[in-house]
Amino acid sequence: MRSLLPLSLLLLLAAAYSGGGSARGLRAARGQGPRDSSVSPSVTSAPFWVRLSPELVAVPPGGSVWLNCSSSCPLPEGSGLVTQLQRGKTVSGLSWMSYQLLDVRAWSSDVRCFITCEGKTRWATARVTAYKQPHSVILEPPVLVGSEYTLRCRVTHVFPVGFLVVTLRRGGRVIYSESLERFTRLGLANVTLTYVLSSGPCDLWQPVTCHARLNLDGLVVRSSSAPVTLTAFAWSTKSKALSFTSIAVLAGILLALGAAYLRKRRVMQARVQGRVEGEGRNGSHRLS
């Protein structure tokens, strides 16, 4: 037996982070020119390999990282790095170059390096991911009104919010899950999920938990709230009949961007900004 109960979800996003997003393609930094090599490389047509390591690396937003472009070529004639990330120091050895990348704010950046050996150029790629595990995941004490509980879960200081999934579980079972994938290129965000639950007697004593999961290309970061238990209330025959949950979900999205975030946007990111605001306006919708 199914019947309609109101469930509502409110996600409140507040970007507190001033420099999120990427400036794709506009700051492609070129690598060094050919390196001086006065000694002719030994004559061999054997293929050489080029490696950029680590191939996949994660940093906190705004952090920095070193990538090492190395090769089997004994005497490279040239090498360089192509990236939209800000460059820092460079250290080099005989057949490797190590590059520092600064202020990583795009959630994912592809970095390429090349090495030229005996007139042939080979490339290697790596990916730099920026993420911030939520500072906290807090499930507030449930508020009981009539036969409905209002559950509110707050996920603070998380990045990138577009890869976040917030899930409510009761006794291990998923009672609600929301992916925030439509929110792209925001900075650090606070997310509040509000869910109205009509609880059946069978589940009453099972603890409810809130889970935040960042699902980043091959890297999964999980955080959970402490469990809360729904308190008992008098069951009428009617509410027993309604013990099967999850019928209708009313979801609303409200997006608030921090003032500092707006001010510090680069001019070339104005288009991105417009899209974010558009998402905010169109965010209110119904899920079934």
Which residues bind to ligand NAG, rule: CB under 6 A? 14, 16, 68, 70, 91, 93, 96, 98, 156, 190, 258
Rg, the chain, Cα only: 25
Peptide bond into 41 cis (omega under 30): no
Shortest Å, Cβ 124 to ligand NAG: 12
- Of the pair 190, 225, the CB lying nearest ligand NAG is at 190
C-alpha to C-alpha distance for 235 and 231, rounded to whole angstroms = 12
CB closer to ligand NAG out of 71 and 198: 71
**Longest alpha-carbon distance in the chain:** 92
Distance CA 131, CA 41 (A): 43
Closest approach of Cβ 91 to ligand NAG, in Å?
Answer: 5
Nearer to ligand NAG, 14 or 242 (CB): 14
In the complex, least distance from residue 126 CB atom to ligand NAG, rounded to whole angstroms: 13
Contacts of 156 (CB under 8 A, 6+ apart): 134, 135, 136, 138, 190
Q: Which is nearer to ligand NAG, 46 or 259 (CB)?
A: 259
Minimum distance, C-beta of residue 261 to ligand NAG, in the bound complex (Å): 9
125/229 with CB nearer ligand NAG: 125
Smallest separation, CB 262 to ligand NAG (Å): 12
CA angle 138, 140, 143 (to 5 degrees): 160
Nearest distance, CB of residue 131 and ligand NAG, angstroms = 17
- Complex with ligand NAG: residue 170 or 185, whichever CB lies closer: 185
CB of 220 to ligand NAG, least distance (A): 23
Nearest CB to ligand NAG, comparing residues 190 and 198: 190
Query: Long-range contacts: 257-263, Cβ < 8 Å, 24+?
Result: 257/14, 257/15, 257/186, 258/14, 258/15, 258/16, 258/17, 258/18, 258/187, 260/16, 260/18, 261/15, 261/16, 261/17, 261/18, 261/20, 261/187, 263/18
